[in-house]
């Protein structure tokens, strides 16, 4: 069992042990550091629903992807991430404070799927890299159906998100881009193997389209507007929540 010394000391009480409030505070620190390491812009930010349960389905290239999405997404994200991260001292503890849902890769982790469904059912946004792991060839890979099953079973919208962060690293701080697509549902598909496979094809096709837009934006110097009409947005202001309200004062 993981030992969480800072949690035992009561650190989460500073934000009322509420992951949403923590997200607002984290923007003060994580956002500037992220954008210093990866100059970036977001597009289609207004397409992300600011309330209601949903699954954010993104492609995955590098370690900057999670914080980069967080810089531009107008609401907190409960990431679906590999359980190995939780074993990293202090980092794993901090990730638990954000409401991260750990999943054991390489096996059917039904507990993680149940937890993710609960988050969506309660009106939260689950963030998933639906390829399951980082892609090494520079373009999105095959989509796994786990995250799509969550959306379909909860009749929740999928928010597609294309990232161009390929070959980014702390020593190669290249320009990056994030493009959010229009939310859509897959309620018309059957909840069986054939339906989930069709869902993977639909989502995979949309991720490739958005990734291409992101790659073009990064190559063109992050223009004001993309060919599909997506407008460029700066990062969400530090300390502001999705409803435009500043977080409450930290109690001591």
- Which pTM does this prediction carry? 0.90
The DSSP symbol for 87 reads G
The DSSP symbol for 99 reads T
Tell me what pLDDT residue 84 has. Answer: 80
Domain residue spans of the chain: 10-165+175-220
Looking at per-residue confidence, does 14 or 224 come out higher?
A: 224
* Contact call for residues 149 and 195 (beta carbons, < 8 A): no
CATH assignment, 10-165+175-220 = 3.40.1130.10
C-alpha 116, offset from chain centre: 13
At 19-52, the pLDDT tens digits run: 888 888 888 899 999 999 999 999 999 999 999 9
pLDDT tier, 106 (very low <50, low <70, confident <90, very high otherwise): low
Q: Extract the runs of DSSP E, i.e. beta strands, from 33-145.
A: 40-43, 54-58, 78-82, 101-103, 125-129
pLDDT tier, 94 (very low <50, low <70, confident <90, very high otherwise): confident
């Amino acid at each position: 069992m993981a030992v969480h010394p800072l949690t035992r000391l009561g650190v989460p009480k500073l934000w009322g042990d509420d992951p949403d409030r923590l997200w607002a505070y984290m923007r003060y620190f994580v956002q500037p550091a992220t954008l210093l390491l990866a100059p970036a812009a977001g597009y289609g930010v207004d397409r992300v629903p600011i309330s209601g349960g949903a699954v954010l389905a993104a492609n995955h290239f590098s370690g900057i992807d999670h914080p980069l999405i967080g810089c531009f997404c107008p609401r907190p994200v409960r990431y679906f991430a590999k359980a190995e991260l939780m074993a990293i001292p202090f980092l794993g503890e901090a990730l638990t404070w954000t409401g991260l849902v750990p999943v054991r890769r390489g096996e059917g982790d039904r507990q993680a799927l149940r937890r993710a469904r609960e988050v969506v059912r309660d009106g939260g946004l689950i963030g998933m890299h639906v390829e399951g792991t980082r892609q090494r060839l520079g373009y999105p890979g095959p989509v796994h159906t786990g995250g799509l099953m969550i959306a379909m079973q909860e009749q929740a919208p999928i928010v597609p998100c294309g990232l161009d962060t390929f070959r980014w690293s702390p020593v190669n701080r290249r320009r990056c881009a994030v493009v959010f697509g229009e939310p859509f549902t897959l309620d018309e598909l059957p909840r069986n193997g054939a339906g989930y496979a069709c869902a993977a094809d639909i989502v995979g096709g949309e991720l490739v389209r958005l990734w291409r837009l992101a790659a073009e934006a990064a190559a063109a110097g992050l223009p004001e507007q993309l060919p599909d009409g997506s407008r460029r947005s700066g990062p969400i202001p530090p300390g502001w929540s999705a409803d435009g309200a500043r977080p409450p004062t930290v109690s001591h």
